[in-house]
A and B are shown apart, each in its own frame.
Chain A
Amino acid sequence: MVAPLLELQNIAKSFPGVRALNDVSFTLERGEICTLAGENGAGKSTLLAILGGSLVPDHGAVIIDGTQRQHFSPRQALADGVRIAHQEPAIVPQLSVEQNLVLGRTSRERRDAGTHIDQALADVAQMGFPLNAKASVRGLSPAQRHALTIARALAFGAKIVALDEPTTSMLEHNVEGVLNRVREIAHTRGVGIIYVSHKMPEVMSVSDKVVVLRDGTVNYTKPIVETSEQDIVRNMVGRELLSFKRQHPVPPDAPVLFSASDVSHPTGGGPLSLDVRAGEVLGIAGLVGSGRTEFLRAIIRADKGSTGTVSIDGKKRKIRSPRDSRNAGIAFIPEERKHQGLVLQVPAYFNVALTADRQFNGFGPIISLRKQIAAAEEAAARMSLRPANVRLNARQFSGGNQQKIVIAKWTWRNTKVFLFDEPTKGVDVGGKVEIYELIDALAKAGSAVIVVSSDLPEIISLSDRVKVMRQGQFVSEHTGDDINEHSLVANAMGIAERTTT
């Protein structure tokens, strides 16, 4: 019996505080197209990074053509015939189409590249994008760039190709041509393809097999002819729920505290409007890239070119910068805690005081460190910051405790509105529950809270109400029993009509 083209055996990978992959095993045959499905955070990206050699697994084996890979590096992956076409086309706009195709090749390989280039150009043309080899990539549309990325991944004798959301920037009629060509190449050249997409119709039409990841393990493997969209989605959801239940759901008579209308971000999306009541936690679910972060950033005007109006307690507030938003009583707790939430090399109390003007001044313009430390210590005690020493640098705290410091930046001020972006990213399970309790406490104290999260159990256990975003728009709103993984995922992926029946 011939060894399969690719065999993954018991792959595991952890990051500080997060177990990204637990135990992943599956095989890929020559000429097979295998869809890798799973929610955000299920471990798809980590798996692709391991396959592409940029991450080393903690356990397990990657066996290609019967040979176990000993050494993990992007070069080794290239030598193994593995290509990863990322969601963001990795091409250099300053170079021509042809130059991009041979990018990263040695000069010796380039000498013999002629036939490969011709082949790749023919592939792109058959996908429906005839390109001139000498044309500059700068002038190409996003869809053309994606097609070029796909063709490049398939060229130069590739054996295993991972396509990560290859069709996001393409129109319906282009997608068909691309997928047809991809299938043809897989079958005629014996290339094994790992296909990652959230578009279920594409998955159903292009794949031979589907592998569903959930919580870092393979939850479901089936030939595509034996499954259905509903089955796949059902197996994606149902992640282990944390035993957290909000103690203080929003009271039914609570007035609207925060409203945003016609908010839009320069990168597109919107205009979006919503209201949040005092004491309410509004969850915003959606796929990565659906415009959720941009929506929050547009509210606080973090990026130039954002528009929209914001009212608090029924009064319109003029917001032109994060500073105005801060002074209006809006907090933004960003996703990238280490780069956007904290200054790592200074003490915790310094970080807490970052949102201050003169509040901690002692004599004239001279600040009182004593006051800063006292305020930080009070917040630290309330949140049980560990270690409970606010003089330590922010860098020295764990993810969950760093997040508490970020929250403390806002709680000492008269902050009424809290915008959380992935509040527990990179936080371990124990820390997560603490953050949830803090969010519950904020709501109980009468704040309006918005939580953007890709972690569905998190959204479900925290929210009084959930809005789902897709492609920069709110597509559905859920309350009560309608807040469940199945209906949220179905709406996020745009297959709601077919699954709610």
Chain B
Amino acid sequence: MSQPTLPKNDAGEDGRKAPVNRRTDAAAPRKQRTLPALNLQALGIYIAAVVIFLIFGMLNPNFLTSGNLRDIAVSASVNAIIGLGITFVIITGGIDLAVGSIASFVGIVSATLMVNAGTSPFLALLAGIGLGLVCGAINGLLITKLKLPPFIATLGTMSIYQGFAYVVTNGRPVYNVPKDFVFMLNSYVGGIPVAVILVAVLAILCWLLLRRTVFGQNVIATGGSEETAWLSGVRVDRVKIAVYALSGVLAGVGGLVIVARINAAQTDAGSPYLLTAIASAVIGGANLMGGEGRIAGTLVGALILGALTNGLVLLNVPSFYEQIVTGLVVVIAVALDQGSKGWPLFKKKSPPKKEATATA
């Protein structure tokens, strides 16, 4: 294994360390390998998902059938795809409110290209992804170069991109999307829906990107402490632009999946997914303060939301209640997440800690 040159191999030369500490080194990791707080936290969401599925399964025998589970997976796919991008954004400590509009905009543009301009489905797909990239990158540029707060920047572009989506077709939906396109994103391979396969592939890629590349580590570092990242030589502006661009791409992919699923492009098809995609990421453990977020968590978050919608319909609960339940799930999930770190309510009151004043 190649080690970079170490400028000072003799740091421990006064004999105080090397032999003794080498031994404790080897022993310590095994002893302290378990990180109970972290594991419990990550595990909690999976347990919650299992519980929710079991409860619906007991209440309605049709819920846990393979056909219904497939429906849930498909209905969760758009939230999952958009949520993956949002997860990256949230980890940097930002937020992307434009994803719903980008999904609508990309969907309507790609559909128009295919239906009105006769572009091939594959090229239309690529064009859609490219448009998502551009839209997202613009968000990133506004945030880094013009120093707009992410909330404001994407609030603005949310409206702008939605407006463009209306302008493209004067607000009219585009019907009769080519069968080839629908086939690409809304068919089955070996009984498994393409959308689900797509989510799985994207999730693996996103996980690799986040956890096993320098870029991903820089994303986490930027969100964890932007100043630390900057002083360590991370180009934080580039990281942020890339993250918003990625969010735009995934929002675009989500928009294309919507088009394939309903066989048509509607001018505001993406907007309902904004809040649910953010909710998926947050339920999955993404922390809006930055530095934390999990790919698998976001997927499970999307599945939980999909299961709730589906289960409540099966139980004949009026659809208005669905929103109440969704909101409650978000609040409870985040409260539990915070709870695992200790609610201030239950903490012993201690005087405010002010280290700066001690030495200043």
Give A contacts to B, CB under 8 Å. Answer: 15-16, 18, 20, 40-41, 45-46, 49, 54-56, 72, 247, 288, 300, 302, 321-323, 325-327, 332, 334, 339-346, 350, 353-359, 361, 365-367, 369-371, 374-375, 377-378, 380-384, 387-389, 391-393, 409, 411-416, 422, 425-426, 437-438, 441-442, 444-447, 454
Partner of A18, one of B1, B221, B352, B359: B359
- A358 to B2 Cα, complex, angstroms: 12
**Chain A, residue nearest B20 (CB):** A384
- A341 to B230 Cα, complex, angstroms: 10
Q: Separation in Å of the B12 CB from the closest CB of chain A?
A: 5
Q: Is the CB of A388 within 8 A of B28?
A: yes
**Chain B, residue nearest A42 (CB):** B359
Q: Is the CB of A442 within 8 A of B228?
A: no
Q: Separation in Å of the A25 CB from the closest CB of chain B?
A: 20
Q: Separation in Å of the B25 CB from the closest CB of chain A?
A: 5
- A148 to B225 Cα, complex, angstroms: 36
Q: Is the CB of B10 within 8 A of A441?
A: yes
Residues of A within 8 A of B24 (CB): 388
Residues of A within 8 A of B359 (CB): 18, 20, 40-41, 45, 422, 425-426, 454
- A138 to B13 Cα, complex, angstroms: 58
Task: Tell me the interface secondary structure of chain B in the complex.
Answer: loop
Q: Separation in Å of the B147 CB from the closest CB of chain A?
A: 11
Ranked 3 nearest A-B pairs via Cβ: A445-B8, A343-B224, A326-B233
- Digitize B176-216: 1 where CB-to-A-CB distance is under 8 Å, 0 elsewhere: 00000000000000000000000000000000100011100
Q: Is the CB of B358 within 8 A of A46?
A: yes
- A356 to B351 Cα, complex, angstroms: 39
**Chain A, residue nearest B21 (CB):** A384
Interface residues of B in 221-240 (CB under 8 A from A): 221, 224-225, 227-235
- Digitize B325-360: 1 where CB-to-A-CB distance is under 8 Å, 0 elsewhere: 000000000000000000000000001111101111
Q: Is the CB of B360 within 8 A of A288?
A: yes
Give B contacts to A, CB under 8 Å. Answer: 1, 3-14, 16-18, 21-22, 24-25, 28-29, 32-33, 35, 208, 212-214, 217, 220-221, 224-225, 227-235, 291-292, 351-355, 357-360
Q: Is the CB of B234 within 8 A of A323?
A: yes
Partner of A381, one of B18, B227, B230, B235: B18
Residues of A within 8 A of B291 (CB): 343, 345-346
Residues of B within 8 A of A288 (CB): 360
Residues of B within 8 A of A41 (CB): 358-359
- A422 to B360 Cα, complex, angstroms: 11
* Given A20-B358, A343-B225: A375 in contact with B3 (beta carbons within 8 A): yes
- A374 to B4 Cα, complex, angstroms: 11
Residues of B within 8 A of A388 (CB): 21, 24-25, 28
Q: Is the CB of B233 within 8 A of A387?
A: no
* Given A326-B233, A354-B221: A415 in contact with B17 (beta carbons within 8 A): no
Can you name 8 A-B pairs with beta carbons within 8 Å?
A: A300-B231, A339-B225, A357-B214, A381-B12, A391-B33, A411-B7, A445-B10, A447-B7
Residues of A within 8 A of B229 (CB): 343, 354
- A422 to B33 Cα, complex, angstroms: 33
Q: Is the CB of B11 within 8 A of A382?
A: yes
Residues of A within 8 A of B35 (CB): 392-393
Residues of B within 8 A of A454 (CB): 359
Q: Is the CB of A72 within 8 A of B7?
A: no
Q: Separation in Å of the A338 CB from the closest CB of chain B?
A: 8
Partner of B351, one of A55, A374, A384: A55
Q: Separation in Å of the A348 CB from the closest CB of chain B?
A: 11
Q: Is the CB of B29 within 8 A of A391?
A: yes
Residues of A within 8 A of B358 (CB): 15, 18, 20, 41, 45-46, 426
Residues of A within 8 A of B25 (CB): 377, 380-381, 388
Residues of A within 8 A of B235 (CB): 321, 323
Residues of B within 8 A of A332 (CB): 231
- A383 to B17 Cα, complex, angstroms: 8
Residues of A within 8 A of B7 (CB): 411, 414-416, 442, 445-447
Q: Is the CB of A326 within 8 A of B232?
A: yes
B25, B35, B220, B228: residue with the most chain A Cβ atoms closer than 10 Å: B228
Residues of A within 8 A of B29 (CB): 389, 391
Q: Separation in Å of the A411 CB from the closest CB of chain B?
A: 6
- A14 to B232 Cα, complex, angstroms: 31
A49, A56, A422: residue with the most chain B Cβ atoms closer than 10 Å: A49
Q: Is the CB of B10 within 8 A of A343?
A: no
- A45 to B356 Cα, complex, angstroms: 9
* Given A344-B225, A388-B21, A414-B7: A302 in contact with B231 (beta carbons within 8 A): yes
**Chain A, residue nearest B220 (CB):** A346
Q: Is the CB of A322 within 8 A of B230?
A: yes
- A327 to B25 Cα, complex, angstroms: 30
Q: Is the CB of A438 within 8 A of B11?
A: yes
- A339 to B6 Cα, complex, angstroms: 26
Residues of A within 8 A of B1 (CB): 370-371, 374
Q: Is the CB of B233 within 8 A of A322?
A: yes
* Given A326-B232, A381-B17: A339 in contact with B227 (beta carbons within 8 A): yes
Partner of B360, one of A45, A55, A339, A392: A45
Partner of A15, one of B220, B231, B353: B353
Q: Separation in Å of the A326 CB from the closest CB of chain B?
A: 4
**Chain B, residue nearest A425 (CB):** B359
* Given A343-B291, A366-B208: A55 in contact with B352 (beta carbons within 8 A): yes
Q: Is the CB of B360 within 8 A of A302?
A: no
Q: Separation in Å of the B44 CB from the closest CB of chain A?
A: 17
Partner of A365, one of B10, B18, B213, B352: B213
- A8 to B200 Cα, complex, angstroms: 67
Q: Is the CB of A412 within 8 A of B33?
A: no
**Chain A, residue nearest B25 (CB):** A388
Residues of B within 8 A of A323 (CB): 233-235
Q: Is the CB of B11 within 8 A of A383?
A: yes
* Given A323-B235, A366-B208, A444-B8: A302 in contact with B351 (beta carbons within 8 A): no
Residues of B within 8 A of A416 (CB): 7
Residues of B within 8 A of A367 (CB): 212-214, 217
**Chain B, residue nearest A364 (CB):** B213
- A356 to B28 Cα, complex, angstroms: 26
A45, A380, A388, A393: residue with the most chain B Cβ atoms closer than 10 Å: A388
Q: Is the CB of B232 within 8 A of A409?
A: yes
A325, A357, A411: residue with the most chain B Cβ atoms closer than 10 Å: A411
- A374 to B212 Cα, complex, angstroms: 16
Q: Is the CB of B225 within 8 A of A340?
A: yes
Partner of A366, one of B4, B213, B225, B352: B213
Q: Separation in Å of the B164 CB from the closest CB of chain A?
A: 34
- A177 to B280 Cα, complex, angstroms: 63
Known pairs A381-B17, A382-B11, A445-B10; list 10 more (Cβ under 8 Å).
A20-B358, A55-B357, A56-B351, A325-B233, A334-B231, A366-B208, A384-B16, A391-B29, A445-B7, A446-B7
- A346 to B29 Cα, complex, angstroms: 16
- A46 to B357 Cα, complex, angstroms: 6
**Chain B, residue nearest A434 (CB):** B16
- A110 to B291 Cα, complex, angstroms: 45
Q: Separation in Å of the B237 CB from the closest CB of chain A?
A: 10
Q: Separation in Å of the A395 CB from the closest CB of chain B?
A: 10
Partner of B6, one of A326, A354, A411: A411
Q: Separation in Å of the A312 CB from the closest CB of chain B?
A: 13
* Given A54-B354, A326-B232, A355-B233: A343 in contact with B220 (beta carbons within 8 A): yes
Residues of A within 8 A of B9 (CB): 382, 445
Q: Separation in Å of the A371 CB from the closest CB of chain B?
A: 6
